Structure 1
């Protein structure tokens, strides 16, 4: 939940931050870009540190850094220091792979799938709640610092819970591959930076093309380096073993799907009807509460049900079905978005599919990697989702900025195209799951399924009722 909230918290108020700090739109964009770049660099390193030295101390360290970053962002009126605070908050992305590793260490086999589905589902659910909370706290152009005080409270609450609940366990030991982390981090920065700045630099500019080419070259060099390293940061097998590779490619697609929904829906409903002839003239608060909150609330219930679906059908089938459901939601949005209920229903369907898909990814990875690689494998999957989010953000922002009417608002056809793109990437994820992943070698019998669900369902719904409260 910390990861998801921090990722989306600032998105709706970038214009307000710029106005209150007297900064340009391109300068304020670094509030998002710096966080994304820091996450790309730190996530694989933090995942490996957790595998080597134990999850609890690394979780505690991450939450302390995130809390310091939140405190800095909440108390400064300098854009430079705000960006630095967001860099520190980028460490939060390491919480998810370490959280999955903790589940694998602590939960019995019959509860592991459901537990991973609940935790993974909060990535989609928390993103929606982050947008809603931002709308509530900054309604009417209120001081943007409020959202960072909120993030500080969330980080401290998570820190207290981690110290109280997560047990101490020794890691698998070994050495850290710092050189591999440096090269991988550099390649990810060179990939994500032009994706986030391409609409400003120009997609055909030397900086954009050169960064992308250099990113590919560094990544190839990193793979060669890791093959010659006795204890690599990330095993090259993660990029050559077909089930893991396909799972990560599907994660790129689902990461795109999540951000297309956030950006597309929130921007569409805020378009002034009187000026554009479409849209709903919604405020940030209305966009969050009326159009995005229903999907987040439905996601709270869907997350544990997704765990049951994974156990019943297998993670491969669950991922394919979830991606197909999200595709239906996007197709609905592309065709029908003139009435409030049409947008809400379409967004809810997309969120259902994304939530279940997120729950399937850890199950697919855990089945293919050793316990000592769980943190690293889920770190790579987190990066894949981040790359998808960055690509989606770049595409949607470019579409919106380059297709304006004479009144300065985006053309309605841009939103139709964005939602059609969402349909395509979801269908691609469904195809990857269906044809790229191996069929489950063994399905549990009906009696085994009933026994698993009898022991796991109470715990899952206890989690849901706790979230609801």
Structure 2
């Protein structure tokens, strides 16, 4: 690796050597221009996300019938839903990390393949144990969401990335909303096993489209897969989520529930200590502890609580008989149609999010979305007396959740290195799953306690529904407070760029000018002239390496800018303030080096000649 004039004699380079996992050679696919790439990538990945959501939601219409269909006790039948939840929570960060290491498209296909196999197993059985195995395999499909977001970051130009990630993030709600009426119709008109065969068919279609339309990403993290970390995280999450989902059946004060909660605390603490010590962790806890990442993940839990509450309340309210005095007496299919606007509105808010975020930033969009959710639930406290009123609630809450969900990946992507995109978004998706699990447990407990006899069965009361909406509103309020402490969008003049080659070095100036069209920056304030960093990345054979991701970290260790090399292997980053920066070229293998700009410096050059022997990781912060 070439030494720069900015490295002091005897000062160690900010790198750490690790053997590179396979593959050690670049993919043989021809380089793609990020400005022209992605024509079919976005809809295909969004479709994969919708398929995953369909898999999660398809059994909701038949939940109450599962004990009879599987010839088991009601408490055992709930494991059909719990199994998918547990494996999905565990698989999401693990598949994300595997994707960062060995290829995001490869792991996306593996996730969908698990879902297809699991669906086929479920489709051919009525045995409870076999059904649980199939449902557990289906849960691995949850990894497709963060993997899809990671692929988008690697393949799409900056101007398309925001709306694409918004659509991918919202696909989980879109698929859920569309699956309810479709699954209800299938359950009424055909054998319930047809739901699983339909999910398998959709999974195969998503895999075929991904093979044809989605290119493999050239961005790789370094190091090896943290097997011990994966085992520790799995054990901790299982001990945490099991009592959350089954606590109402076991009893919240039972030895089993309390023992599992205690085990979760112990395992996760030990896992955290281990992750801080290992060289290539499953989850970079130092990155996770950054304010923008930590607060985004905590806010995600609150959004998950709010998202699932409406899915638990409205279908039950709509299907309760009118003889209760407050039930709306609708069929399963009509109930699904009334809730379907929740998902449709989430899909339609993706372009709206892109416009708002471009002007105000993802933090403002997240806060706006949560405010809209609160308005929807607040209005819902008084709008529960007619089916058309539930449609209004679904539309308003769906719009808010769409804005909030769309903002979360943008906040995460803006705070982590490109080689950590899938793992970081996998952790964020896990936080949403924890939120939905908490929502299911808490609201399920509320509805069980606030219930009344209705003939031979016990049904939730209107008070139970209203308390559930109030809980969701409270969760949104907490999330709004957390989001308020997120860092605001960078001020004009902060390096954000972004040039693919030396011919595009004016991109930063255009971005800065567009960010401050009114010229509000005080022109009388003395500002040091911005500096530029240019260079070329060459592969181990000395050839220019196109489409290599180049990431710049600021003096405080936070991401300052990232770009990709042009067809000639060149890159340029402009608008840099004085200070020491760490530059990482993520090729095969990646290199890192340090460059310092003194006041008055206008331009520096740093070339990377990648070799097979020297492999570097991104310096820790």
TM-score by length of 2: 0.70
Cross-structure match for 1:336:
383
For the pair 1:284 / 2:332, whether they are aligned, the reply is yes
SS of 1:405's equivalent?
strand
Which of 343-352 and 384-393 deviates more?
A: 343-352
Structure with higher Rg: it is: 2
Query: What is the alpha-carbon distance in structure 2 between the residues aligned to residue 9 and residue 309 of structure 1?
Result: 33
Query: What is the alpha-carbon distance in structure 1 between the residues aligned to residue 410 and residue 329 of structure 2?
Result: 42
Query: What is the alpha-carbon distance in structure 2 between the residues aligned to residue 154 and residue 312 of structure 1?
Result: 37
Deviation at 1:4, TM superposition (A): 1.5
**1:259–1:83 distance in 2 versus 1, CA, 3 Å:** same
CA shift digits 1:66-111 (9 cap, x unpaired): 1111111111121211111111111111001110110010001111
Deviation at 1:33, TM superposition (A): 0.3
Q: Please give the residue correspondences for 1:222-301 in structure 2 after superposition, counting only pairs within 5 Å.
A: 222-274=271-323, 276-289=324-337, 291-301=338-348
Cross-structure match for 1:109:
158
Cross-structure match for 1:61:
110
Deviation at 1:431, TM superposition (A): 1.7
Deviation at 1:277, TM superposition (A): 0.8
CA shift digits 1:251-280 (9 cap, x unpaired): 001111111010011111111111x21011
Deviation at 1:446, TM superposition (A): 7.8
SS of 2:188's equivalent?
coil
Cross-structure match for 1:46:
95
Tell me if the contact between 1:68 and 1:85 (Cα under 8 Å) persists in the aligned partners.
yes
Tell me if the contact between 2:61 and 2:187 (Cα under 8 Å) persists in the aligned partners.
no
Cross-structure match for 1:428:
478
Tell me if the contact between 1:118 and 1:307 (Cα under 8 Å) persists in the aligned partners.
no
SS of 1:279's equivalent?
coil
Cross-structure match for 1:345:
392
For the pair 1:143 / 2:220, whether they are aligned, the reply is no
**1:238–1:283 distance in 2 versus 1, CA, 3 Å:** farther
Cross-structure match for 2:64:
15
Q: Please give the residue correspondences for 1:415-454 in structure 2 after superposition, counting only pairs within 5 Å.
A: 415-434=465-484, 436-442=485-491, 447=514
Deviation at 1:126, TM superposition (A): 1.2
Query: What is the alpha-carbon distance in structure 1 between the residues aligned to residue 316 and residue 447 of structure 2?
Result: 9
Query: What is the alpha-carbon distance in structure 1 between the residues aligned to residue 209 and residue 381 of structure 2?
Result: 42
CA shift digits 1:357-387 (9 cap, x unpaired): 1110010001100011111110110110000
Query: What is the alpha-carbon distance in structure 2 between the residues aligned to residue 19 and residue 449 of structure 1?
Result: 64
Cross-structure match for 1:153:
201
Tell me if the contact between 1:192 and 1:387 (Cα under 8 Å) persists in the aligned partners.
yes
Query: What is the alpha-carbon distance in structure 1 between the residues aligned to residue 358 and residue 448 of structure 2?
Result: 44
Query: What is the alpha-carbon distance in structure 1 between the residues aligned to residue 448 and residue 516 of structure 2?
Result: 51
For the pair 1:359 / 2:417, whether they are aligned, the reply is no
Query: What is the alpha-carbon distance in structure 2 between the residues aligned to residue 366 and residue 389 of structure 1?
Result: 23
Q: Please give the residue correspondences for 1:305-316 in structure 2 after superposition, counting only pairs within 5 Å.
A: 305-316=352-363
CA shift digits 1:330-368 (9 cap, x unpaired): 011112211222221012111111111111001000110
SS of 1:409's equivalent?
strand
Deviation at 1:447, TM superposition (A): 4.0
For the pair 1:385 / 2:385, whether they are aligned, the reply is no
Query: What is the alpha-carbon distance in structure 1 between the residues aligned to residue 308 and residue 268 of structure 2?
Result: 25
Cross-structure match for 1:464:
none
**RCO comparison, higher one (Cα < 8 Å, 6+):** 1
Cross-structure match for 1:36:
85
Structure with a larger share of its residues in helix: 1
Q: Which runs of 5+ in 2 are unaligned?
A: 1-49, 493-510, 518-621
Tell me if the contact between 2:109 and 2:207 (Cα under 8 Å) persists in the aligned partners.
yes
For the pair 1:91 / 2:91, whether they are aligned, the reply is no
Query: What is the alpha-carbon distance in structure 2 between the residues aligned to residue 447 and residue 354 of structure 1?
Result: 29
Tell me if the contact between 1:17 and 1:144 (Cα under 8 Å) persists in the aligned partners.
no
Query: What is the alpha-carbon distance in structure 1 between the residues aligned to residue 314 and residue 327 of structure 2?
Result: 10
Tell me if the contact between 1:366 and 1:374 (Cα under 8 Å) persists in the aligned partners.
yes
Aligned residues: 446
Query: What is the alpha-carbon distance in structure 2 between the residues aligned to residue 166 and residue 129 of structure 1?
Result: 24
Tell me if the contact between 1:333 and 1:347 (Cα under 8 Å) persists in the aligned partners.
no
Query: What is the alpha-carbon distance in structure 1 between the residues aligned to residue 387 and residue 63 of structure 2?
Result: 25
Match of 1:210 among 255, 259, 279: 259
Cross-structure match for 2:463:
413
Match of 1:184 among 230, 233, 246: 233
Deviation at 1:115, TM superposition (A): 0.9
